Amino acid sequence: MELVQNFPFITIVFSLTCGVFCAVLKGKKARGLCLVWLTLTTLMSFSVLLYTLKTGEYYIYRMGKWNAPWGNEIRVGVLEALMATAFSGVMLLSLLGGMHHIFADCEPEKTNLYFTMCSLLMSSLFALIYTNDLFTAYVFVEINTIASCALVMLKSSAKTLVATTRYLIMSLLGSGLFLLGIVILYGITGELLMPSIAEKVRTIFATGEYSLPLTVIIGLFSVGLAVKSALFPFHSWLPDAHGSATASSSAILSGLVLKGYIIVLIKIFYRVFGLEIIVSEQVSWFLFVFGALAMILGSVGALRERDLKRMLAYSSVAQVGYIYLGLGLHSELGVTAACVQILVHAITKPMLFIAAGGFMDVSGGHKSMDAIAGAGRRDPLGGLAFTVGALSMIGIPFFAGFVTKLELTAGALESGTVTTVMALIAIAVSTLLNALYYVPVIFNLFSAREQAEYKGLRVRYRADYAFATVAFVLLNIGFGAFSEYVVGAVRQGLALFGM
Amino acid sequence: MRSDGFLARLVSFVESGSFREEDYTLSPAQKDTLDTDIPENRWLHSVQHAEKPVGARLMSWFSQKGFELFRDLYRIASVFICVTLIGVLLSVVSFLPAFGSAENPAVNEVVERYVSKSIEETGATNAVAGMISAYRGFDTLGEAHVLFVAACSVIVLLRVDPSERKRGKLLDPDRVGGDMDYEPNSDLILRKAAKILVPLAFIFGLYVILNGTSSPGGGFSGGAIMGAGLILNSVAFGFKRTERFFGDEMYHAVKTACLTVYALLMAYFIYMGANGWDDHVWLGIPGGIVSGGLILPINIAVGFEVACTMYCFYALFRKGGL
User: Is B115 within a domain?
Assistant: no
Give the closest-approach CA distance of B123 to chain A in angstroms: 14
- The domain of A58 spans 3-496
Contact A16, B285 (CB under 8 A): no
Alpha helix ranges (H) inside A56-77:
none
Helix (H) or strand (E) holding A73: strand A72-76
| Structural domain count, chain A | 1
Same domain? For B152 and B241 the reply is yes
Q: CB B139 to CB A139 under 8 A? A: yes
Give the closest-approach CA distance of A59 to chain B in angstroms: 12
- The domain of B196 spans 123-319
Cα dihedral A196, A200, A202, A204 in deg (nearest 10):
-160
**DSSP three-state, residue B177:** coil
Chain A interface test: which of B70, B113, B153 (most A C-beta within 10 Å): B153
User: Which of B51, B69, B84 represents a domain boundary (last residue)?
Assistant: B51
Chain A interface test: which of B138, B277, B304 (most A C-beta within 10 Å): B138
Give the closest-approach CA distance of A163 to chain B in angstroms: 13
Q: How many helices (H) and strands (E) does chain A have?
A: 22, 2
pLDDT (tens digit per residue) in A354-395: 999 999 888 888 888 888 888 888 888 999 999 999 999 998
Give the closest-approach CA distance of A497 to chain B in angstroms: 22
Nearest CA in chain B to A11: B267
User: Is B79 within a domain?
Assistant: no
User: Is B98 within a domain?
Assistant: no
Same domain? For B152 and B238 the reply is yes
**Per-residue CA distances from A124 to A14, A15, B291 (Å):** 11, 9, 31
pLDDT at B10: 43
**DSSP three-state, residue A222:** helix
End-to-end CA distance of chain A: 27
Q: CB A63 to CB B137 under 8 A? A: yes
Q: CB B273 to CB A62 under 8 A? A: yes
User: CB under 8 Å to B229, separation ≥6 — which residues?
Assistant: B197, B198, B201, B202, B205, B307
Q: Tell me whether strands A72-76 and A59-63 are parallel, antiparallel or unpaired.
A: antiparallel
Same domain? For B197 and B297 the reply is yes
pLDDT at B37: 43
Q: CB A16 to CB B109 under 8 A? A: no
Contact A323, A341 (CB under 8 A): yes
**DSSP three-state, residue A11:** helix
Would the pLDDT of B285 be above 50?
yes
Residues 170-229 of B with CB under 8 A from A: none
CB-based burial, B10-49: b 16+ in 10 Å, e otherwise? eeeeeeeeeeeeeeeeeeeeeeeebeeeeeeeeebbebee
Same domain? For B171 and B291 the reply is yes
Q: Of the ranges A199-208, A281-290, B41-50, B297-306, which one carries the lowest mean pLDDT score?
A: B41-50
Q: CB B141 to CB A16 under 8 A? A: yes
**Per-residue CA distances from A172 to A148, A156, A224 (Å):** 12, 22, 9
Contact A439, A301 (CB under 8 A): no
Q: Is the pTM of this model over 0.90?
A: no
| Structural domain count, chain B | 2
Rounded distance, CA B293 to CA A86, Å?
A: 38
Interchain contact B259–A (C-beta under 8 A): yes
**Could you give the angle at which helices A380-394 and A417-445 cross, rounded to 10 degrees?**
160
Select from B222, B194, B181, B217 the least CA-distant residue to B292: B217
pLDDT (tens digit per residue) in A1-60: 788 999 999 999 999 999 999 999 998 999 999 999 999 999 999 999 999 999 988 899
Cα dihedral A153, A157, A158, A163 in deg (nearest 10):
-30
Same domain? For B127 and B271 the reply is yes
**DSSP three-state, residue A433:** helix
Rounded distance, CA A193 to CA A341, Å?
A: 27
Q: Which residues of B touch A17 (CB under 8 A)?
A: 259-260, 263-264
Cα dihedral B310, B311, B312, B315 in deg (nearest 10):
130
User: Is B205 within a domain?
Assistant: yes
Low-confidence ranges of chain A (pLDDT < 70): 498-499
Interchain contact B141–A (C-beta under 8 A): yes
B2 compared with A6, residue with greater pLDDT: A6
Give the closest-approach CA distance of A62 to chain B in angstroms: 5
Within a 10 A sphere around the Cβ of B72, how many other Cβ atoms?
Answer: 10
Contact A181, A189 (CB under 8 A): no
Rounded distance, CA A389 to CA A430, Å?
A: 16
Chain B interface test: which of A14, A20, A61 (most B C-beta within 10 Å): A20
Alpha helix ranges (H) inside chain B:
2-16, 28-36, 38-48, 54-95, 109-122, 127-129, 137-158, 162-166, 188-210, 219-237, 239-245, 248-274, 295-319
Helix (H) or strand (E) holding A82: helix A78-97
Q: CB A140 to CB B134 under 8 A? A: no
pLDDT at B182: 61
Q: Which residues of A touch B113 (CB under 8 A)?
A: 70
User: Is B153 within a domain?
Assistant: yes
User: CB under 8 Å to A158, separation ≥6 — which residues?
Assistant: none
User: CB under 8 Å to B121, separation ≥6 — which residues?
Assistant: A65, A66, B130, B134
DSSP state of B212: G
User: Is B309 within a domain?
Assistant: yes
Contact B309, B150 (CB under 8 A): yes
Confidence of residue B178 (pLDDT cuts 50, 70, 90): low
Q: CB B149 to CB A187 under 8 A? A: no
Give the closest-approach CA distance of A2 to chain B in angstroms: 9
Rounded distance, CA B272 to CA B286, Å?
A: 22
Give the closest-approach CA distance of B280 to chain A in angstroms: 12
Rounded distance, CA B185 to CA B168, Å?
A: 17
Contact B260, A17 (CB under 8 A): yes
Q: Of the ranges A176-180, A224-228, B240-244, B314-318, which one carries the lowest mean pLDDT score?
A: B240-244
Chain A interface test: which of B74, B159, B270 (most A C-beta within 10 Å): B270
Would the pLDDT of B35 be above 50?
no
pLDDT (tens digit per residue) in B129-172: 888 888 898 999 999 999 999 999 999 988 877 666 555 555 45
Phi and psi at A75, nearest 5°, equal -125, 125
